[in-house]
């Protein structure tokens, strides 16, 4: 049975008012935000505030996700998932069986890939450093995120902060991963099992780095081992070569903790910044023969200088932000 058929009981139209049986809170549905195997998430209005409400005919799934969100709120310093606001049942008009639902914070922002398209790929490492910090806190509490992918990650606020909008795949360590998406699943690529452990999430972070550089996802080749195929992609893509060591280590399951991967990513990013400054300094030492510069060349140099100034400013902002995040450990 496909998701569409399974979710018919959760389907509601914009304008519908859902009132909880036990807490008597009313939520007016605005529009659908997304749907999956275990229900549909809607944007709703509650006392002139926007909230997200998930409706499911699977009470066990709702209970599991509610427990995850409750646990997220207890993880000190983590803002990875949305805040839980309400849990209740809804009696649909003309029906007897209650439909369980929960209400959570509505995280307003842009999806990760959309944000990178607008702001630039330079933000990829900064946001992944944030993600790894939050994942480390989650892993220390005995949970693995599971279905980690750009679709579930929102970038919001100033300065930008990465947040997750779907915790349906979050699983206790040692158990089988509940939900996954093939491209980000190490089992699909033949790179490991689907047992919930930190290295499962870190493989997904490596795939997020790959997906950030290559937005069009590709399938596993039948003629090549999955891990060899991914390694070849990393080694031949200029944007991924910058983080080759980090990505390949994560794909190979060599990191035991998220902080191990984060430290290597900080080092890789710092090395890139040092190299960039060195290149800028070398270019600045070249002699200029003023008598040979035409008006057109002056104009061209002016544009290059402006671009260089912008690059340096972006570098200073990013490097300062990385140092700030590193200091939060």
CA distances from 210 to 9, 124, 163, 294 (A): 37, 10, 19, 44
Residue 32, judged by CB atoms within 10 A of its CB (0-12, 13-18, 19+), counts as middle
Choice between 267 and 291, residue whose per-residue pLDDT is larger: 267
Asked if residue 6 has pLDDT above 70, the reply is no
What pLDDT was estimated at residue 189? 97
Residue 290: pLDDT band with limits 50, 70, 90: very low
Contact residues for 58 (Cβ-Cβ < 8 A; gap 6+): 38, 39, 100
Question: Minimal CA–CA distance to 243: which of 112, 121, 116?
Answer: 121
**H helical segments located in 75-169:** 112-119, 123-140
R_g of the chain computed on alpha carbons? 23
Half-sphere exposure of 210 (CA within 13 A, CB side): 28
Residues with catalytic function: 147
Residue 263, judged by CB atoms within 10 A of its CB (0-12, 13-18, 19+), counts as middle
Give the whole-angstrom CA distance, residue 264 versus residue 257.
Answer: 12
What pLDDT was estimated at residue 321? 56
Q: Tell me the domains of the chain and their CATH numbers.
A: 3-58+75-105 (3.30.200.20), 110-263 (1.10.510.10)
Three-state SS at 126: helix
Predicted TM-score of the model (pTM): 0.79
What pLDDT was estimated at residue 302? 42
Give the whole-angstrom CA distance, residue 165 versus residue 41.
Answer: 10
pLDDT tens for 142-152 read: 999 999 999 99
Q: What torsion do the CA atoms of 301, 303, 307, 309 make, to the nearest 10 degrees?
A: 70
Q: Average pLDDT over the chain, rounded to whole?
A: 84
pLDDT tens for 112-135 read: 999 999 999 989 999 999 999 999
Poorest-pLDDT segment among 22-31, 162-171, 243-252: 162-171
What pLDDT was estimated at residue 72? 79
Poorest-pLDDT segment among 77-86, 162-171, 175-184: 77-86
Asked if residue 301 has pLDDT above 70, the reply is no
Question: Minimal CA–CA distance to 127: which of 104, 142, 109?
Answer: 109
């Amino acid at each position: 049975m496909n998701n569409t058929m399974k979710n018919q009981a959760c389907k509601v139209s914009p304008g519908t008012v859902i009132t909880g049986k036990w807490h008597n809170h009313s939520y007016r549905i605005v529009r659908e935000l997304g749907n999956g195997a275990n229900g549909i998430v809607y944007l709703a209005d509650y006392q002139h505030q926007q909230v997200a409400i998930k409706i499911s005919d699977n009470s066990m799934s709702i209970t599991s996700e509610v427990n995850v969100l409750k646990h997220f709120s207890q993880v000190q310093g983590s803002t990875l998932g949305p805040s839980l606001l309400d849990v209740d049942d809804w009696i649909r008009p003309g029906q007897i069986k209650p439909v369980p639902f929960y209400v959570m914070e509505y995280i307003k922002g842009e999806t990760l890939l959309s944000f990178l398209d607008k702001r630039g790929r330079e933000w990829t490492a900064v946001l992944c450093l944030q993600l790894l910090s939050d994942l480390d806190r989650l892993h220390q509490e005995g949970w693995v995120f599971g279905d980690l992918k750009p679709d579930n990650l929102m970038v919001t606020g100033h300065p930008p902060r990465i947040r997750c909008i779907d915790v349906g795949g979050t699983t206790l360590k040692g158990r089988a991963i509940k939900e996954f998406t093939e491209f980000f699943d190490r089992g699909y690529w033949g790179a490991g099992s689907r047992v919930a452990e930190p290295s499962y999430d870190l493989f997904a972070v490596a795939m997020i780095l790959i997906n950030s550089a290559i937005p069009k996802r590709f399938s596993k080749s039948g003629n090549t081992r999955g891990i060899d195929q991914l390694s070849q992609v990393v080694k031949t893509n200029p944007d991924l070569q910058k983080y080759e060591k980090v990505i390949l280590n994560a794909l190979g399951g060599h990191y035991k903790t998220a902080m191990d991967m984060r430290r290597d990513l900080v080092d890789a990013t710092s090395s890139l910044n040092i190299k960039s400054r060195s290149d800028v300094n070398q270019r600045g030492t070249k002699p200029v023969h003023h008598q040979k510069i035409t008006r057109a060349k002056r104009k061209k140099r002016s544009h290059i200088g402006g671009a260089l100034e912008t690059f340096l400013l972006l570098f200073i902002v990013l490097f300062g932000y990385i140092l700030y995040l590193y200091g939060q450990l």
